[in-house]
Amino acid sequence: MAITTDAAAAIGAALSTPARRLPEPCAMVIFGASGDLTERKLIPALYYLYRHELLPQGFSVVGYARSSFSDDQFRARQFEAVKEYLKIPAEDESYLTEFLKGVFYSSGDYTAPDGYDRLAKALDDLDEQRGTGGNRLFYMATPPSFFGDIVRNLGARGLARPKHEGRNWTRVVIEKPFGHDLESARELNRLVTSVFREEQIYRIDHYLGKETVQNLLVFRFANGIFEPVWNRRYIDHVQIAVAEDLGLEGRGGYYEEAGLVRDMIQNHVLSLLSLIAMEPPSQFEAKSVRDEKSKVMRAIRPLPLDALNEAAVRGQYVEGWKGDQRLPAYRAEPKVSPQSVTETFAALKLYIDNWRWADVPFYIRSGKRLPKRISEITIEFRRAPHLLFRGTITEDMVPNLLRVRIQPDEGISLRFNAKIPDTMMQIRPVEMDFRYNEVFEASPPTAYETLLLDCMLGDPMLFTRDEFVDLAWELITPLLRRWRDDGRKGLYFYEAGTWGPPEADSLMEHDGRHWRHL
Ligand SMILES: NC(=O)c1ccc[n+]([C@@H]2O[C@H](COP(=O)([O-])OP(=O)(O)OC[C@H]3O[C@@H](n4cnc5c(N)ncnc54)[C@H](OP(=O)(O)O)[C@@H]3O)[C@@H](O)[C@H]2O)c1
């Protein structure tokens, strides 16, 4: 994403509408600051906010990790990273240098208390020297195995409580994955909530910060025409596809442990599903929205373990091609076992047992090394009840479709049937299309900008609450256990660069339906 000076002004104006508040002065600590997330997402997002004058005066960052850097070395690294990832023009580099004057680095172990003593002192100094006001945001950007140690040490050093109770705030952002299964998620939750209060905890799912995902709520509840048809009477089924064309990108060690369902479905896809399916919240605020999301999760029918093949398919990619580029098999990727049974693709059929959605299937598919990177939700409506045009040249009459594109080309389109001009009575499907980047001049902020700002403002609406995490794991854990016990049995292979194993097609064809051509 390139930010030019003109675009900066336009986005700044759009983001600073009256609904936008400026956060109180604060400092942010990033644990794991020598890592990939910090460079690719966090510091670029913070610079973006700074450039659009959405950060408070004196805002400061302290990067914390074991690697040894001076402040200047750390700044130089981040300078290069922001330049690369945001593609900022040369005339904007002075803004970046200015922003980085508020970025510091503190080297320390995650387990030993002395690093936290130094951190506490650095934060107190920032309060004095840069006016950060005693408000603190701790961001866990380490591998999850360190979350527990960090939280415990913050608690022990007295950093988890606001500096001045009632006057200051302290919040903690926890990256995904939140736990590995139901038990470990509960364990982590117990630990985090023994140190922080629930209202201080922001479990981040960056999918929820995407503009189209937020627009789903606006689309459903700010328009009168969709809600009356948003139910089993008019909707035949829903499809959610989250496809990636990339493979592991050097993250083989992590992926072997995680697999597709933990990496994508347990968090992002179930969050999307809950937003599509939830009842209208009484207010547009965190508690009401999150209450409704949880109700959806509670209503999802457990997967039928005695007939799992009818509801769940898992796959793993083997060698394939993208154009003339050879793509390696999953098992040939670095840090992956040659006998691995980890899934890189999954397709699920879920039902939500409530009045609105009884018997409406929600088909989910997600995978790595699919033909393209695309995330899309499709609502397929029932056919018109009476085929008035039967007997004319109308063989192609198709059901109405509403497509919500989350990435890469954010927008919404509606498919309906239209008469072809100058023909007798020939009908063809056409699309009404809304594209974000065509209608609004500035491209939408990326998810991390939105979410970091919300966190500083104390708005947890787009973050995941403890019970949602728990309910999502409750749904998914039995499936993962069964697959683990089955080993190689029931794992289907697909060529890299294709849309998954044929068995995933059968899952839908069995119901007389087809996956959307993406
Ligand atoms: N990268 C992404 O795009 C992305 C997206 C979504 C979520 N996340 C989540 O965000 C967190 C951070 O991701 P990341 O990609 O930035 O991680 P990373 O680069 O692998 O690790 C971040 C830092 O943690 C420290 N670390 C401590 N023990 C480590 C170990 N055993 N192996 C590797 N690093 C270790 C390292 O710093 P020192 O050695 O200097 O201490 C490293 O620079 C993870 O929980 C990840 O799941 C990442």
In this structure, of 133-147, 291-305, 441-455, the range with the lowest mean pLDDT score is: 441-455
Place 453 in a pLDDT band, splitting at 50, 70 and 90.
Answer: very high
**From the CB of 35, is ligand 1 less than 6 Å away?**
yes
**pLDDT above 70 coverage of the chain, percent:** 94
Topology, domain 208-445+461-509: Dihydrodipicolinate Reductase; domain 2 (3.30.360)
- Give every CB contact of residue 193 below 8 A, 6+ residues apart in sequence: 201, 466
Residue 144: CB within 6 Å of ligand 1?
yes
> Residues 52, 206, 237, 268: which is the catalytic one?
268
Asked if residue 32 has its Cβ within 6 Å of ligand 1, the reply is yes
Copy the structure tokens of residue 3. Answer: 């930010």
* Mean pLDDT score, 305-321: 96
Burial zone of 197 (CB within 10 Å; 0-12 exposed, 13-18 middle, 19+ buried): exposed
Helix (H, G, I), strand (E, B) or coil at 377: strand
Average pLDDT, the chain: 92
| Beta-sheet strands, E only, within 98-166 | 103-107, 136-140
Give pTM, 2 decimals: 0.91
pLDDT band at 392 (very low <50, low <70, confident <90, very high): low
CATH class, domain 5-175, is: alpha beta
Q: Which ranges in the chain are annotated with CATH 3.30.360.10?
A: 208-445+461-509
Q: How far is the CA of 174 from the centre of ligand 1 (A)?
A: 12
Q: What is the pLDDT of residue 20?
A: 65
The owner of tokens 């999150």 is 290
Looking up tokens 């409704």 gives 292
The torsion angle over the Cα atoms of residues 493, 499, 504 and 510, rounded to 10 degrees, is: -140
- How many angstroms does the Cα of residue 251 sit away from the middle of ligand 1? 10
Using the mean position of ligand 1's atoms as its centre, give its distance from the Cα of residue 229 in Å.
44
335 lines ligand 1 (CB under 6 A): no
User: Which residues are 374's β-sheet partners?
Assistant: 243
Please determine, for residue 304, whether its predicted confidence score (pLDDT) is greater than 80.
yes
Region 172-188: mean pLDDT is 94
Give the residue-averaged pLDDT of 219-241.
95
pLDDT of residue 287: 94
Give the residue range(s) of CATH 3.40.50.720 domains in the chain. Answer: 5-175
514 is catalytic: no
Percent of the chain with pLDDT over 90: 79
Q: What is the pLDDT of residue 409?
A: 85
Q: Which amino acid is at 238?
A: V
